Structures are given as C-alpha cells and as structure tokens.
Copies of this chain bind each other. A is one copy, B any other.
Amino acid sequence: MARVMNFGAGPGTLPLAALERAQEDLLDFDGTGMGICEHSHRGKAYSALHAEIKALLTSLLGLDESWEVLLLQGGASAQFAQIPMNFLGPEARADYVLTGTWGEHALAEARRMVGGRARVAGTSGTGPGAVAHLGAGYTRVVRPEEVTVDPGASYVHCTSNETVHGVQFGHVPGRWFDAGAVPVVCDVSSDFLAAPTDLSPFSLVYAGAQKNLGPSGLVVVLVRKDFLARAVTHLPNIFSYAVQAKNDSLYNTPATLSVYLARNVLSWVGDLGGLPAMEARNHGKATTLYAAIDRAAEFYRAPVEKTSRSVMNAVFRLPTEALENAFVAAAEKEGMFGLKGHRSVGGIRVSMYNAVEPAWISALAAFMDDFARKAG
C-alpha cells in the first residue's frame, strides 16, 4: 500500500528517507556484512555510530562542554522515576509545574517515591487536585505569576509541550516562570528539535524518541555537568545518570537499532537545514492548520488559548461525538490517519511533528474546509 498521511501523536511518522536508508543497513550496515542490530555495542561500527549521533545532537542543538548527552532506554516515563531517584536525597524536595497530563504523570511518579516532598509549584489545570483529576481542563500554559518555586527545591520540573491537551510554552524558556536559582528540568519529548531552542535556562532536558527523533525504545537525556554533580550516589547503577555519563551511555547494551534510526532522522534534519529549517516548516504547517480551524470556529472548537497553542499537536472538538467519528472515518478514506484525540479527552488531535509533510497539512486543511461546509 502507498504510505498514508500519518498524524498520530506518537509513535509518530518518521522521515521516509530515514526509513529507506535503514532497509539496506538492517542486513548490511555500512558494508560490514552485518546488520546494524547484529553489531556488538562495543565494536568499531557501532562505536562510530554512537559518536556520530552524539555529534549530531551536539551540533544541531549547539551544545557546549557543560552538557552530557545520554542515550538511554525506557522512554520519558522511565525518566519520571529516574529524575527523583537521581536528584532527591532523603530530605530533598522538588517542584512541579503542571500544564497537562504528562506533567501530572511525572509528578505522580515522584510522589510515589517521596510523597509530599514533590509539590505543585503552579498549574494551569482547573481540577481541584491535578493528579486526582487527570486531564482536567488545561487550556493554556501557566502564567509566570501563577508559579511559586520553592527556593529550597532540588529542581523544578516542567513540560515544554503537552501532547494530550495541545498546550505548548513559548519560544523563550527564560520567560516561562521565575525559577530563581533552582535547576529547571524539562520534559521536551514532543517538541524536541522542532525549532532552535535556548537551553540556557535548563539543567536537564529529556526526550522520548517516538515523536521527533525516532522509534520508541530510546530516550535522550541532556544534563549539565554541574547539575549532575549534585546527584545522589546511592541508587542502582543502571538508573544512575552519573554512571551512564561515566560510561558514555554504554554501561549496559543500548537500544542500538533505535539509536541507529534516530541517527538517520537527525541526518535528515541536518540535510533539510537543521533546526531553523524545522522551525520554518513547523510554523508553516501550524499556521495552515489553525487557520482551517479558525475559518470554521463555530464548527471546529479549539479550546486552547491562542498564545498557548501547540505547534506540534492541535486539538479541537466538533459539535458532537458522532460528527467527530464521522470526521475520523471520512479522513481515513482520504488516506489521513491518527486523528483521534487521546482517549482521556476525546475529540480530534492533529500531530504535526517534524516528519509530517507540509503537503499533508494542506490536504487536511482542505478536507476540513470541505467537511465543515458539508456537515456544518
């Protein structure tokens, strides 16, 4: 079958060039006579790949020597646990800024470990207790004045883009809220590499691969060396960022095939012009899509405040659930897939990750115009 237009929220679509490149390398990686996943993670071929992907990340993101680049497993969900494991000693506290479901998950995991020592520093949710009311009404990011960071916290955690609610912080992380001298930890899974990003306000960022980076099974953790120096030392080696950093992420066997595919994706990002090109591409797609929503604002009701709209995930409702189901079914007939909203909130969600082609968004916008005219 021809490849369809995939607007899924993740695992999401990947660049065709990255996948095609992998077809041969699965059987014979770089002329070695072994497929990429058959190479020892300590051999020459994989070592070169491991160095290459770190160099690509370093160069695309403009990382300096203050950062460690870790290639780990378990996705962002494992980091929800590993961050408190690494940075919360027996008496230490942490702050969480909530702008959607994934921040709530991160907080809930921390609370399982340290209880009330993990605190909500600010939330844009409308539920009475964010974690108890998963998915409660996040229609914007927090305003700076809604956040009070505990100066004694070991870190403050936030989420740059919330995929379920379609809520994204703006371009300048330094203006999100005032963290004072508290290290800022950010889950950037769903807008990693989507635009040039000023990483200077952050001490640690992490990204599950399955949005803009590659297949699931890989998570990139970027951590500043001075923050890493504050990590506790009494935890299992396998979950210790310091141990992984000391071993160049080769303390155990990494997910070599996922690393390989992410290398192909990063290469493709570079070929297209790097992060400035991604920003232009993504801005164009989001402009087209939100314009289609706003042209039929009575029919496509987008709950998110305009200044908090996500460039990666646009969410909206139709007048009835029956119309939403009809929308999804009609779109699939046109070769457009992955449009159902997250099961916790319903509605429609359009994910516009880096690899989503601008032409797909144009086709979807035209479809939306047509569907609204016929059904509205």
Chain A 39-58 per-residue mask, 1 if CB under 8 angstroms from chain B, else 0: 11111000000000000000
Contact B253–A216 (Cβ < 8 Å): yes
Contact B257–A216 (Cβ < 8 Å): yes
Contact B74–A74 (Cβ < 8 Å): yes
B residues within 8 A CB of A39? 8, 11
Contact B215–A257 (Cβ < 8 Å): yes
A261–B217 Cα gap in the complex (Å)?
A: 13
**How many chain A residues have a CB neighbour from B under 8 Å?**
70
- Is there a chain B Cβ closer than 8 Å to A212's Cβ? no
Contact A33–B1 (Cβ < 8 Å): yes
- Is there a chain B Cβ closer than 8 Å to A282's Cβ? no
Contact B215–A37 (Cβ < 8 Å): yes
**CB-contacts of A4-54 with B (<8 A):** 4, 6, 8-14, 16, 19-20, 22-23, 26-28, 31-35, 37-43
A255–B209 Cα gap in the complex (Å)?
A: 10
A277–B253 Cα gap in the complex (Å)?
A: 29
- Is there a chain B Cβ closer than 8 Å to A284's Cβ? no
Chain A 74-90 per-residue mask, 1 if CB under 8 angstroms from chain B, else 0: 11011011000100000
B residues within 8 A CB of A19? 26-27, 35
What are 24 A-B contacts with C-beta separation under 8 Å?
A: A3-B28, A3-B34, A4-B32, A8-B40, A8-B43, A10-B40, A14-B35, A33-B335, A37-B210, A37-B215, A41-B216, A73-B73, A74-B78, A74-B252, A81-B236, A108-B237, A113-B236, A215-B257, A216-B256, A216-B257, A217-B256, A217-B258, A257-B257, A257-B258
- Is there a chain B Cβ closer than 8 Å to A122's Cβ? no
Chain A 100-130 per-residue mask, 1 if CB under 8 angstroms from chain B, else 0: 0000000011001100000000000000000
Contact B34–A6 (Cβ < 8 Å): yes
Shortest distance between the CB of A264 and any CB in chain B (Å): 11
Chain B residue with Cβ nearest A233 = B112
- Is there a chain B Cβ closer than 8 Å to A254's Cβ? yes
B residues within 8 A CB of A75? 73, 252-253
B residues within 8 A CB of A10? 40, 253
B residues within 8 A CB of A81? 236-239
Contact B16–A27 (Cβ < 8 Å): yes
Shortest distance between the CB of A38 and any CB in chain B (Å): 5
Contact A237–B112 (Cβ < 8 Å): yes
Contact A255–B216 (Cβ < 8 Å): yes
B residues within 8 A CB of A335? 33
- Is there a chain B Cβ closer than 8 Å to A359's Cβ? no
B residues within 8 A CB of A38? 6, 8, 11-14
Q: Closest 9 interchain pairs by CB?
A: A217-B255, A81-B236, A37-B215, A4-B33, A77-B252, A217-B217, A215-B257, A1-B33, A216-B253
Shortest distance between the CB of A207 and any CB in chain B (Å): 13
Chain B residue with Cβ nearest A23 = B23
B residues within 8 A CB of A254? 216-217
A234–B337 Cα gap in the complex (Å)?
A: 39
**CB-contacts of A291-340 with B (<8 A):** 335, 337-338
- Is there a chain B Cβ closer than 8 Å to A2's Cβ? yes
